[in-house]
């Protein structure tokens, strides 16, 4: 064997030697840049949490202390009397809001899933026109249709209250739910899966029930959270379609605030009580909410 055919031995690699980080790496950021980043994050966190601090501190004060002690100081005497008053006032409407938000989230999500499946994978003539018309409902301001909507509800015969609000929120939730599911099915569900179900003799409804729904959990998480919070926090539909006797918690919270001599401590406690369900939903399901949004954003 000649010397020209002999390959040079590879150099030994020192495993303990530090590897060079590529330029532009996040880890190559200077210490000063990290300090500035953390300072800015802390600043914005304080700005965001300031209203929550005022709510909590004020709700634990007595009515006399609010005007004397100010809104930023801690209470000199901690009391939960305002929380008890707020809960006694909001409890009936609090339960009614669950009766509103849960059916709205489930019904509109199922209808949006069916629409999204048909418009994405079961095409028909004029599907794009139908989808555009459905999306048009997302851009109509509620204030522009409130009076005609109230007249339509009255002509249909729906009484003011939770049943009417369920109907209205389901109708107005269909466009956003359809958009979310259409994007999810178009980018995530393979066409081969639909074709395989057709080969097996499954029709549209059977395919949707047996094949599509089992893989639709990320989309349902997004639409259920979205619709639940929208129905729970709604005030405009509630003020037109219900009243303090049969309306949701937002109407009762407005009545609790009062007009002539408002009880600020009870109002703050009521605002915290009314916001707890949506806050817990985002804390518990927030990770799946972001994952569901991203699942339909890019095609794998």
Q: What is the mean pLDDT of each run of 10 residues along the chain (300 residues)?
A: 48 51 55 90 93 88 72 81 91 94 95 91 83 86 86 88 93 92 87 83 84 88 92 92 90 80 84 91 78 57
**d(Cα 187, Cα 195) in Å, to the nearest integer?**
16
Measured in whole angstroms, the distance separating CA 70 from the mean position of its chain's CA atoms is 34
Joined together, the tokens standing for residue 15 give 């495993």
Q: What residue spans define the domains of the chain?
A: 28-69, 82-295
**Within 10 Å of residue 186's Cβ, how many Cβ atoms?**
16
**pLDDT value of position 270:** 92
**d(Cα 150, Cα 171) in Å, to the nearest integer?**
14
Q: Which of 118, 275, 251 is nearest to 186 (CA)?
A: 118
Q: Which class is domain 82-295?
A: mainly alpha
Please report how the helices 162-188 and 142-156 are oriented relative to each other, as an axis angle in degrees rounded to 10.
120
Q: Are the C-beta atoms of residues 174 and 134 closer than 8 Å to each other?
A: yes
SS3 161: coil
Q: Are the C-beta atoms of residues 111 and 208 closer than 8 Å to each other?
A: no
SS3 31: helix
Query: Residue 17, by phi and psi: left (phi above 0), alpha (psi -120 to 50) or beta?
Result: beta
**d(Cα 197, Cα 206) in Å, to the nearest integer?**
9
Round to the nearest angstrom and report the end-to-end CA distance of the chain: 52
**d(Cα 297, Cα 180) in Å, to the nearest integer?**
9
Q: Are the C-beta atoms of residues 111 and 175 closer than 8 Å to each other?
A: no
Q: Are the C-beta atoms of residues 240 and 144 closer than 8 Å to each other?
A: no
**Within 10 Å of residue 290's Cβ, how many Cβ atoms?**
12
Q: Which of 246, 109, 77, 238 is nearest to 173 (CA)?
A: 109
Phi, psi of 9 (to 5 degrees): -70, 135
| Positive or negative torsion for Cα 126, 132, 137, 140 | negative
Query: Residue 141, by phi and psi: left (phi above 0), alpha (psi -120 to 50) or beta?
Result: beta
């Amino acid at each position: 064997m000649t010397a020209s055919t002999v390959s040079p031995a590879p150099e030994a690699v020192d495993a303990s030697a530090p590897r060079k980080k590529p330029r532009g790496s996040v880890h190559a950021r200077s210490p000063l840049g990290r300090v500035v980043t953390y300072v800015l994050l802390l600043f914005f966190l304080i700005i965001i949490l300031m209203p929550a601090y005022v709510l909590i501190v004020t709700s634990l004060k007595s009515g006399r202390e609010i005007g004397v002690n100010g809104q930023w100081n801690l209470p000199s005497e901690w009391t939960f009397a305002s929380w008890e008053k707020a809960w006694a006032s909001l409890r009936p409407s609090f339960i009614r809001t669950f009766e509103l938000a849960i059916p709205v989230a489930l019904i509109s999500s199922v209808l949006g899933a069916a629409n999204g499946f048909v418009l994405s994978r079961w095409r028909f003539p004029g599907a794009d026109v139908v989808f555009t018309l459905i999306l048009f409902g997302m851009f109509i301001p509620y204030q522009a249709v409130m009076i005609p909507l109230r007249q339509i509800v009255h002509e249909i015969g729906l009484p003011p209250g939770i049943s009417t609000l369920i109907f209205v929120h389901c109708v107005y939730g269909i466009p956003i739910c359809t958009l979310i599911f259409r994007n999810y099915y178009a980018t995530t569900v393979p066409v081969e899966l639909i074709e395989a179900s057709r080969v097996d003799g499954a029709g549209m409804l059977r395919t949707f029930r047996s094949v599509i729904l089992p893989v639709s959990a990320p989309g349902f998480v997004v639409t259920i959270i979205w619709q639940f919070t929208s129905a729970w926090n709604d005030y405009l539909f509630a003020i037109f379609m219900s009243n303090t006797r049969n309306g949701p918690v937002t109407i009762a919270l407005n009545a609790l605030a009062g007009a002539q001599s408002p009880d600020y401590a009870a109002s703050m406690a009521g605002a915290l009580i009314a916001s707890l369900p949506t806050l817990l939903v985002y804390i518990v399901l927030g990770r799946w909410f972001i994952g569901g949004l991203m699942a339909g954003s890019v095609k794998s």
